[in-house]
Structure 1
């Protein structure tokens, strides 16, 4: 299977462009699932404090025997840990659960605008990076006004913004803002979380058939060719293998444009919470 390409971040570090996300993977299944992902060839694991499965990720890392520098591990700061010195306490707890001295990427999980403390949280992440507790820092679910405010306040742009992104909901205002500032986009829910018939959409089905791939592989390829970082979730080994087998073909410009056209107007394609409503 071809090696996963890496993407250069604006801080000079590199991140594997495809990884394994453990959102909603039960704690009791996480070590097995992550171990299988590592066996299959994944080297980028995305977790979060709120997922409740950092210990399982850590156990899989320890059992794998893989050198630390071959792995890219992301976790996230939860919404009730933004104030005061809480971000430092939170990352210390995550590192203990993961069994690591440093994560590769630490994210502010949601901006929680009603609390109005995400600027402080971001400033704290800058300090955590400078202290060596994380190599890179970024945000998740931040809209353009949130992004502009944290950059104006600190002078530091996030390395990534992890957002809901799939063909029906492409958040082009954010992706364009990010492209102009060398901020990488990470797509969560890249397959629409199964909440609409993405695989039955004609452009996706046609692209899959043309390349002898599954609809899921065609959509993941669309993300990769957009330059996005993507980490689909599965707890089945055969699906883990399928999701990683996306580097031996390319969609044509016409196929890419046809999938682009699946965008729903006015944000109607969103399948999860609006960032202004998560607090």
Structure 2
């Protein structure tokens, strides 16, 4: 099974490095995925669960999450607390002329991702570096700032939180959904494929991801449907390609989970994009 590769539309437009900021009281529309680039998330507030391929860590402390390319992950927050995070994304090409330095700093990312628990002072230091990287116009100095950031991360202490081991059948379920979301998905059949009982699958899925299996599948399909609609697909075609029975069912799911029908959601999304980030 293969975890979905998500590029989030950056492509060549971000020219090897970019930052973004998010805050809100509800979880983002996200799911289990990976990227072709390095991702660093500075979590400043919120009760947030970081789910990696082999473990899950939940805390309301400031944390730094470091992920090398093609590291499966899923970050989800509880909606009753304000969630704030900064992302720093960069490609191998960005540090190609500092390949030896990058190689020496790779332990900061670990094998399956690293989660660092930060003091307020440490979080402020990493935040100031992200802001400096974003503001820096000189490419050479920008690279040096990134290398300094990584050297600090490499020297920081890992999270003191006791991680919860992730059962292989949970990562297997997440991978299977990412491959077969357009098909009919039934809990009993998925459990049979993963060689576990339906009860074990449903109970552990909720425990480790924070959502029920059906909720996760629906949100996953909604994310795919949003991308299809943004690319110009009609509502009936997007519904068919994303595993909804028909356009009416997809529209009901939009209203239930996103609070509005597809056309209104897309119009609002375009309006927010034109307005810039919340940073």
TM-score (norm 1): 0.32
* Bigger Rg over Cα: 2
